[in-house]
Structure 1
Amino acid sequence: MRSVAEYLEWAAEFDELAASANVEVLRKRYADIAACYRLLAKAREWLISTGAIEGEQRALDR
């Protein structure tokens, strides 16, 4: 399972790809993928905050 930080890193990477793409279709697609990774990060943060899943730190402490 990925961590919130990993999802945000991937989002940043796809944001960079979107900014550097010369083709509008690719720019849009990369931006959409970045938005999906930010959504995954937000959902994981919410699940951790509700206690539905363990946070990264608690999982590492085992």
Structure 2
Amino acid sequence: MKSRAKELRNKNPVELQQELLELLRAQFGLRMQHATQQLSNTSQLSNIRRDIARTRTILSQKARQS
């Protein structure tokens, strides 16, 4: 997990925004699979949610630094 955070910190805000959009799309797809009971690994939902929170946190930190 720490390497994922370091990887995100090395990106600029535009790349982080793009990463956030991709994660939100992935979360939507997983939610739809879960709703139709096609999702076998439900832990993916919490992993995506944590990645979204991590990305938003780093984005806000970079915004405060600027």
User: How does the TM-score come out when normalised to structure 1?
Assistant: 0.64
Q: Please tell me whether the aligned partners of residues 12 and 34 of structure 1 are also in contact (alpha carbons under 8 angstroms).
A: no
RMSD: 1.4
Residues 1:18 and 2:36 are matched in the alignment: no
| Residues matched between the structures, number | 48
**Which one has the largest radius of gyration?**
1
| Unmatched 5+ stretches in structure 2 | 1-9, 31-38
Q: Normalising by structure 2, what TM-score?
A: 0.61
**After the TM superposition, which segments of 4 or more aligned residues of structure 1 sit over 6 Å from their partners?**
none
Identity of aligned residues (%): 8
Structure 1 residues without counterparts, runs of 5 or longer: 49-62
